[in-house]
Structure 1
Amino acid sequence: MFLLEPVGFGRTENDAYLGLLDLKRATAEELGEHLGVPAAGLLPSLQRLLEAGLVQQLGFTPAVYAAVPPDESLAALIDHRRGELARMRSHVEELADRLRAGSRRAGRDQPVVELLDGEDAVLAAVARIQLQAREEVIAVDAPPYIGGGPGNPNDLELNRLAAGVAYRCVYSREALDSPETLEAMRRCTEAGEQARILPGVTLKMVVADRSTAMLPVSYTEPDPGMRLLVHGSALVDVLVCCFEQLWARATPVDARQAECGPTGRDRELLSLLASGLKDRTIARALGVTERTVGRRLTELMAELGVETRFQAGVQAARRGWI
């Protein structure tokens, strides 16, 4: 079945996507064995599928890939090519029926709260609510993460930002202890995400268009493989209010270049300092050495006329630098 040709993908991307549907999740090597092709030749195709939101990357070393269910990921592409993709719609529905065989379809009796049990169900729902968002996605990024490591790279967010969906994210200081998460945050902010940092925040959540939310089953004993999916209700309104309060308390991350005053890099350094991050973590975030961070902070403190780092944060805020 050459499913992806109408939306501009070649045979290799098509076979890789269908192979991942069969395998559920796989490394490039495992997918290559399944398809009978060299793994190295699949990497460019997997990257294109990631950028289009058709595939998710679940880890870093080694990278594990999973197909986003076709009735969720392809709908956005179909809307742009409605006429020529009429035949493709039937194929998408057939694949969706196969994947959802035996499961209950959502209808008018859809519960307000659904329990998602298992990593596959959680990751599919995260992708679905982002793909369905038309205006804004808000999120609090905090551990624990699926797989026990740092957060997964969110290539789907980059795709949705390019489509005009706004993103606001509050990061916990603990989340940014990971170099991978720092790099992911930088990529997203450069693409348009509004990011802020709040030390100690644990209210992990994702809310799309203020109508659908996902949160852990418990905040005291969180299980990365279990989530609550909440549909339009007063509970979603409460979560949005909680997010807005956290957003107001958090320190903005400003990676843009300033027209006057400190450089964009200085603003970013001061923002990370004000959020409570240590020099080592700030250095990883900026891609410089810890010594460089200390030297530049000393220079900025002299420019601000202060003696302590706390005073530097206060003065920088008063001057509108952060």
Structure 2
Amino acid sequence: MFLLEPVGLGRTENDAYLTLLDLKRATAEELGDAVGASPAVLRPALRRLLDDGLVQQIGFTPAVFVAVAPEEALAALIHRRRSDLAHMQVHVEKLADRLRAGGGRTAQGMPVVELLEGEDAVLAAVVRMQLQAREEIIAVDAPPYAGGQSSPNDLELSRLAAGVSYRCVYSREALASAEQFAAMRRCVRAGERARVLPGVTLKMAVADRTTALLPVSYAHPDAGARLLVRESSLVDVLVCCFEQLWERAAPVDGPAAECGPSARDRELLALLASGLKDRTIARALGVTERTVGRRLTELMTRLGAETRFQAGVFAARQGWL
């Protein structure tokens, strides 16, 4: 019978108390023999029972221990335990409030981390971040999207015109449709610096390196929930992550893209888009199969494509075919 577990006592204290109730009174040695516990184990257990008022000591040499009746000792212990639990509940609620507020506040008194719930709240935060930005917006564009699908960011065009710079790393899924690709190209023509990184999932947006918006979880992303992170080391870490992704990503535009592919590259891409194998393409162009493979790899990197099929699609969208 483990009577004392609910009040926070262990097995040794429990067995010693129940045994002492049967013995009525006993010395430490007698109690240890009855319980089957060594003096080194029994001594701290007896001290705990004495401290909790479950046992009383009579005399000193030898000390005799008597169990206090359970209806008296346990009633007081249960009452104290309830009081401790009530205080613990208060502290838990305060801690939860502090965590919900991000565990700290900015110099302006705002919570460092704020949970935004609901797609309306998320969309409003996206708009507010862009309107309040004065220097730069950096972003990783990847699912999931509020509303279930990607939407054009018309506000970006006016903010670019107002002098706010935009740098964006796009995932493969962010440019999956012709409409999404056209929306990206419209922003690029207006001044956005864009790059493509297949496989990127670290969705985020950071305004002026002081305020960030990101999913609550990358493992289980929810389009209707975001964390709004204000000026803190957390934002600094996100900026570092973005810069590393930016370095790895392939530019959408640049000197190589502006001048377009060579006539031979256009011919190669056209043959690729036709579904021909490398050997057939090599024979048609009069080069080796290895040369075809190497050049296709270079063109895929330039286009930001992960597969040959994507290279054909991206080349068509850029007007290379």
State the TM-score, normalized to the length of structure 1. Answer: 0.51
SS at match of 1:213: strand
For residues 184 and 123 of structure 1, the distance between their equivalents in structure 2, rounded to whole angstroms, comes to: 18
Partner of 2:225 in structure 1? Answer: 226
Q: Which has the higher helix share?
A: 2
Q: Over the residues paired in the alignment, what is the CA RMSD in angstroms?
A: 4.0
1:185-200 matches, cutoff 5 A: 185-200=184-199
SS at match of 2:202: coil
When residues 220 and 212 of structure 1 are mapped into structure 2, their CA distance, relative to the original with a 3 A threshold, is same
Partner of 1:246 in structure 2? Answer: 245
Output the amino acid matched with 1:232.
E
SS at match of 1:147: helix
Partner of 2:87 in structure 1? Answer: none
For residues 286 and 140 of structure 2, the distance between their equivalents in structure 1, rounded to whole angstroms, comes to: 34
- Give the number of equivalent residue pairs: 194
Is the Cα contact below 8 Å between 1:139 and 1:169 reproduced in 2? yes
SS at match of 2:209: coil
1:58-97 matches, cutoff 5 A: none
Structure 1 runs (4+) greater than 4 angstroms displaced: 255-261, 290-294, 301-310, 313-318
For residues 293 and 147 of structure 1, the distance between their equivalents in structure 2, rounded to whole angstroms, comes to: 40
Partner of 1:79 in structure 2? Answer: none
For residues 238 and 304 of structure 1, the distance between their equivalents in structure 2, rounded to whole angstroms, comes to: 48
State the TM-score, normalized to the length of structure 2. Answer: 0.51
Shift of 1:109: 2.5
Is the Cα contact below 8 Å between 2:250 and 2:303 reproduced in 1? no
Shift of 1:180: 2.3
Shift of 1:145: 1.0
Partner of 1:115 in structure 2? Answer: 115
Larger of the two Rg values belongs to structure: 2
1:134-173 matches, cutoff 5 A: 134-149=134-149, 151-173=150-172
Partner of 2:294 in structure 1? Answer: 311
Partner of 1:130 in structure 2? Answer: 130
The percentage of counterpart residues that share the same residue type is 64
Which runs of 5 or more residues in structure 2 are unaligned? Answer: 1-105, 305-321
Which runs of 5 or more residues in structure 1 are unaligned? Answer: 1-105, 271-278, 284-289
Deviations 1:138-167 (A, max 9, x none): 000011111222x11100011111111111
Output the amino acid matched with 1:111.
P
Deviations 1:73-122 (A, max 9, x none): xxxxxxxxxxxxxxxxxxxxxxxxxxxxxxxxx99331001111111111
Shift of 1:179: 2.4
Is the Cα contact below 8 Å between 1:306 and 1:312 reproduced in 2? no
For residues 303 and 121 of structure 1, the distance between their equivalents in structure 2, rounded to whole angstroms, comes to: 59
Output the amino acid matched with 1:311.
R
